[in-house]
Structure 1
């Protein structure tokens, strides 16, 4: 299971959550799965900029990599198959096994979760 932390910074003079960091450790991501589902957990463990280790192999998760869990409320998903395709397509010189951490912009995650909520309120 991942350690979930959130990096906060000032946006429009207000302290706001910016990045969700999912730390798995080296070899901790099961790339044989199509999706990785994670619970939406709050409150988030807040970290400072100094606590983000520059030597940690991180990969950004894009909006198009995110989904919701159609079977369990309160979980979002990361489409690992898309992430792997992007790694290979962009010819990134990284072994997926070495990726220790995913970084997600909280705005992207909120957008995916809102899209799901809107489906339930359509008339």
Structure 2
């Protein structure tokens, strides 16, 4: 399961980096809001590669933990905007995508904490 988590982390990290660039292209938010996504993406890629090469999952688990935290905050801030009615166009779709990514990150975290290397 650790190796599967590492492969998912690689795919997720690359997707996250590309999605962040596409989402902000032409109108970047203040830097603290997007730098954290690149940190999470880089940590996932690094943790995934290290786990596949060395078998250690500590960095991978830490990367998934940071990613869960980042997506947790993002998801619930978008849900709050939907509930309060202060959302912008496309907010519901974005909240759904972020929610799915949060679920993948949670699954990846739990998979990285297992001892079996299936």
> Shorter chain as normaliser: what TM range?
under 0.3
Q: Comparing both chains, which one has the higher relative contact order based on Cα–Cα distances under 8 Å and sequence gaps of 6 or more?
A: 2
Which protein is richer in strand relative to its size? 1
Which protein is richer in helix relative to its size? 2
TM-score by length of 2: 0.26
